[in-house]
């Protein structure tokens, strides 16, 4: 989060309105159209229920208040405007206060398929629908409180927990595994990869294993964790997460399932 970025969030005017260009609205529309096709039969029912509630426009980028008004009614959450990058203190503080950070820029056409930085499409389309689910919303707020109070070292472990749940989580349903993680649901490549690539590891829900599992943000994930229901996340939020962090530190990290960056660049 401390690294530089070429993107800059669109500011709000005095009325809280964000002005986007026609091209930015068109990019949103195209991203929506193609992702909606991809998530059919792949996203979890709770995501579709949330998507129906927030009722995102197809022809334009929604204003943050449009989404916040629905979230407040459902779970007490809202979407908070932030610049393109924020520090971890701010990130955790917002989550603890039930405010989901959203940088109001949208990717360029050159980065339609993959973007390392979270843009407005990733945050709104990928994440906000799940925040209408009470169990998931409570887990995310509790996570923010834990992260805000944690040491710098412990935050590194907690980041893995967020990565394998909120960003890249899968859930087992009666129809098979489905997606609930926003990092997958907003990605044209990761959506089919997460469920259909035969080489991918889909491990059962295990918080300590999540805390011990390294990841990289610039590749398709080689491993995902599968929850059985969202109450598991709620129960985890109300459990001894920092005790689990301590145990994960004692056990040490797992060997990565991906090559180091240097090796991948050289190949």
Look at residues 80, 121, 122 and name the one whose alpha carbon lies nearest to residue 102. 80
In this prediction, residue 4 carries a pLDDT of 57
- Residues of the chain where predicted confidence (pLDDT) is lower than 50: 1-2, 264-267
User: Are the beta carbons of 101 and 80 closer than 8 angstroms?
Assistant: yes
115-146: pLDDT as tens digits: 888 999 999 999 999 999 999 999 999 999 99
Residue 63 C-beta-side C-alpha neighbours within 13 Å = 10
Catalytic residue among 46, 127, 138, 187: 127
C-alpha torsion angle, residues 193, 199, 201, 202 (rounded to 10): 50
Residue 186 among the catalytic residues: yes
Conformational region of residue 76, where left means phi above 0, alpha means psi within -120 to 50, and beta covers everything else: left
In this prediction, residue 267 carries a pLDDT of 39
In this prediction, residue 1 carries a pLDDT of 39
Residue 25 among the catalytic residues: no
Residue 23 among the catalytic residues: no
The gap from C-alpha 142 to its chain's centroid, in whole angstroms, comes to: 15
In this prediction, residue 264 carries a pLDDT of 46
169-211: pLDDT as tens digits: 999 998 999 999 999 999 999 999 999 999 999 999 999 999 9
Other beta carbons within 10 Å of 151: 10
In this prediction, residue 32 carries a pLDDT of 97
Residue 66 C-beta-side C-alpha neighbours within 13 Å = 14
Residue 127 among the catalytic residues: yes
pTM (2 decimals)?
A: 0.94
In this prediction, residue 177 carries a pLDDT of 98
CA distance 160 to 170: 15
In this prediction, residue 266 carries a pLDDT of 41
In this prediction, residue 262 carries a pLDDT of 65
Catalytic residue among 46, 68, 122, 190: 122
- What three-state secondary structure class fits 220? coil
What structural domains and CATH numbers belong to the chain? 22-251 (1.10.800.10)
Catalytic residue among 68, 186, 187, 194: 186
User: Are the beta carbons of 230 and 133 closer than 8 angstroms?
Assistant: yes
In this prediction, residue 6 carries a pLDDT of 79
In this prediction, residue 7 carries a pLDDT of 86
* Phi and psi, residue 228, nearest 5°: -90, -30
């Amino acid at each position: 989060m401390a690294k530089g970025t070429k993107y800059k969030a669109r500011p709000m005017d005095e009325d809280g309105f964000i002005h986007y260009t026609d091209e930015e609205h068109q990019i949103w529309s195209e991203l929506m159209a193609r992702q909606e096709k991809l998530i059919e039969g792949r996203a979890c029912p709770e995501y579709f229920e949330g998507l129906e509630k927030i009722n995102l426009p197809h022809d334009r980028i929604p204003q943050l208040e449009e989404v916040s008004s629905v979230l407040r009614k459902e779970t007490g959450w809202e979407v908070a405007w932030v610049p393109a990058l924020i520090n971890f203190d701010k990130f955790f503080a917002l989550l603890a206060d039930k405010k989901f950070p959203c940088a109001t820029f949208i990717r360029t056409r050159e980065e339609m398929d993959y973007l390392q930085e979270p843009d407005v499409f990733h945050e709104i389309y990928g994440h906000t629908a799940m925040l209408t689910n009470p169990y998931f919303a409570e887990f995310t707020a509790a996570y923010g409180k834990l992260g805000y109070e944690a040491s710098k070292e412990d935050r590194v472990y907690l980041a893995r927990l967020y990565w394998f749940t909120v960003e890249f989580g899968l859930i087992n349903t009666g129809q098979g595994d489905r997606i609930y993680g926003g990092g997958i649901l907003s990605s044209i490549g990761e959506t089919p990869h997460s469920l259909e690539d035969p080489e991918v590891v889909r491990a059962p829900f295990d918080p300590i294993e999540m805390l011990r599992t390294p990841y990289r943000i610039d590749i398709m994930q080689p491993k995902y964790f599968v929850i059985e229901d969202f109450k598991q996340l709620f129960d985890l939020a109300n459990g001894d997460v920092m005790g689990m962090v301590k145990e994960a530190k004692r056990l040490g990290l797992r060997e990565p399932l991906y090559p180091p960056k240097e090796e991948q660049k050289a190949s």
